[in-house]
Structure 1
Amino acid sequence: MAALSGGEMCIKYLMFAFNLVFWLAGTGVFAIGLWLRLDPKTKGLFEGPDSPYVFYTGVYILIAAGALMMVVGFLGCCGAIQESPCMLGLFFFFLLIIFAVEVAAGFWGFSNQSKVVNDITAFYTQTYNNYKTTGDERLKETLRVIQTGLNCCGPTVNAIDTDKDTCPPKGPLEQLITKTCPEAIDEVFDSKLHIIGGVGITIGIVMVFGMIFSMLLCCAIRKSREVV
């Protein structure tokens, strides 16, 4: 069996480094998904008939994507170090699936942007109204999480001046420029969508290079093993 050439060894260790970072990223995504699902502040979002479909679907997607990224990263690292064509082939297959899902999710997100915004806004407004009616502490905590995260207060301008128990603490001047939460939700999707799209495209390009390197390394390993 012939040894790999210098360039092929370079690809091998680049593959290992790439997949180590990919595995760490998957671990982070998986941990964030579990935190959002199990944290007492957001756990209430999954309970009750008015649970936000978009939110809990997104959280479960995060958990599943993180777990898959960890598996793919592990296969890539082991396949590169062990010079295993089988593991590298599985790595290519799973990475191709993730790439296809990412492309599909991107198209879905861009084509359903208004629906996503409307669903989130409707859930927020319903939660706010239910809290004002019942005074439920879980709803109060949910509102605090949403309003602190978006740096907003209430569904209307009047709520900014009157609702102090769930809104982020602000001084008198800051209250004058505080947005309502429907405005903040709409602004997040309008202003951040191109950033999210750019990040998605970058990740997609990295995945394509990962697939190319895995096939190059796999072919090189098989070729070296055929040489007696």
Structure 2
Amino acid sequence: MAGVSGCLKYSMFIFNFLFWLCGTLILGIAIWIRVSKDGNEILSSGNSDANPFLAANILIAVGAIIMVLGFLGCCGAVKESRCMLLLFFIGLLLILLLQVAAGVLGATSKSETKRILNETLYENVKLLKQTGGNGQEFRDAMVGFQKQFKCCGLVDGAADWGTNFQSISESCACEPPSNDCVTYDRKPVFKENAVECSLELSGSFQPLKPPHGQIRVLGTWFGVFYGPVLPDREQMNL
């Protein structure tokens, strides 16, 4: 029985150590996006009533909680501390209850989430159509995103750029013949928009070359968190 007890102890230690590493990774990436210049520009680009930093703040809190629970689990398993293990299991129970509550709230407020997302995307599309210095960093970030991921526009394709299309058309350029190409203003461009591309990227974690790594992470999290409530293009009314 001593051998079985030792096996369980170290198995629990390894599991919680990996748990702690995941929490550290989530916390680090969330803080990086929260304080980085590109992350702030994209997160705060809309004029929605919703807090633009809400997702990053939630991830910071989640990462910190996972780190604490992982620490309690590791130390409790190695030292065989009943107090630490009790706190660890109470923490897991609270997380389970919060997940159930979040699921219920998410199901009941889905229409409100769609409305907020519509407003945010609409404001971002207006930034793409503007000229001058207002929103320039966001437009530059979108150009970099389009070049790297072979897409065009945010919601409605190349039309999202309005009169700015001619100046950024190279980032949307697609080589025909290809099923990925459509014609806009007599130029072949990618038919997939940035929102659709982000949803596809949510299942991929391939590393990127700088300087657009922040955009890749934001695109991934956008797909993960907003994919289930993303409205159809016809519902955007842009």
Please report how far the alpha carbon of residue 86 of structure 1 lies from its aligned counterpart in structure 2 after TM superposition. 0.8
1:165 corresponds, among 165, 168, 172, to 168
| Cα distance change on mapping 1:54 and 1:121 into 2, 3 Å | farther
TM-score by length of 2: 0.63
Q: Give the letter aligned to residue 80 of structure 1.
A: A
Instruction: Name 1:16's counterpart in structure 2.
Output: 13
- 1:139 corresponds to which residue? 138
> C-alpha deviations, 1:82-113, integer Å up to 9, x for none?
11111111111112122222222233334434
Q: Which has the higher contact order (CA 8 A, sep 6+)?
A: 1
Aligned AA (2:153):
C
Q: Residues 145, 21 of structure 1: CA spacing in aligned structure 2 closer, same or farther, 3 A cutoff?
A: farther
In 2, are the aligned partners of 1:36 and 1:43 still within 8 Å (CA)?
yes
8 Å CA contact 1:27–1:70 kept in 2: the answer is yes
Higher Cα radius of gyration: 1
Per-residue CA deviation, residues 154-191 of structure 1 (Å, 9 max, x unaligned), is 443534797363995441443425234566689958x9
Superposed displacement of residue 17, structure 1: 1.1
Which 5+ residue runs of structure 2 have no aligned equivalent? 183-189, 201-222, 229-238
The answer to whether 1:106 aligns with 2:109 is no
The alpha carbon displacement at 1:62 in A equals 0.3
Q: Distance in 1 between matches of 2:79 and 2:106?
A: 39
Q: Which residue of 2 aligns with 1:196?
A: none
- CA deviation profile, 1:178-225 (whole Å, cap 9, x unmatched): 234566689958x964xxxxxxxxxxxxxxxxxxxxxxxxxxxxxxxx
The Cα of 1:71 is off from its aligned counterpart by: 0.6
Describe the SS at the equivalent of 1:53. Answer: coil
Q: Distance in 2 between matches of 1:56 and 1:37?
A: 7
Q: In structure 2, do the counterparts of structure 1 residues 118 and 184 end up closer, same or farther at CA, with 3 Å as the change threshold?
A: farther
Unmatched segments (≥5 aa) in structure 1: 194-228
Q: What amino acid is aligned across from residue 67 of structure 2 in structure 1?
A: M
> Which letter maps to 1:178?
K
Instruction: Report how many aligned residue pairs link the two structures.
Output: 191
Match of 1:179 in 2: 192
Query: Structure 1 or 2: larger helix share?
Result: 1
CA distance in 2 between counterparts of 1:92 and 1:118 reads: 38
Deviations 1:21-44 (A, max 9, x none): 100110111112112211211112
Letter matched to residue 192 of structure 2: K
Q: Cα RMSD over matched residues?
A: 3.8
Contact 2:72-2:87 at 8 Å conserved across structures:
yes
Q: How does 1:19-98 map to 2 (within 5 A)?
A: 19-47=16-44, 50=47, 53=50, 55-98=52-95
CA distance in 1, matches of 2:61, 2:73: 18
Shift of the 192–156 alpha-carbon distance from structure 1 to 2, 3 Å rule, reads: closer
- Provide TM-score, normalisation by structure 1: 0.66
The share of aligned pairs that are identical, in percent, is 30
- Which amino acid letter does the alignment assign opposite residue 101 of structure 2? A
SS at match of 1:165: helix
Cα distance in structure 2, aligned partners of 1:167 and 1:66: 39
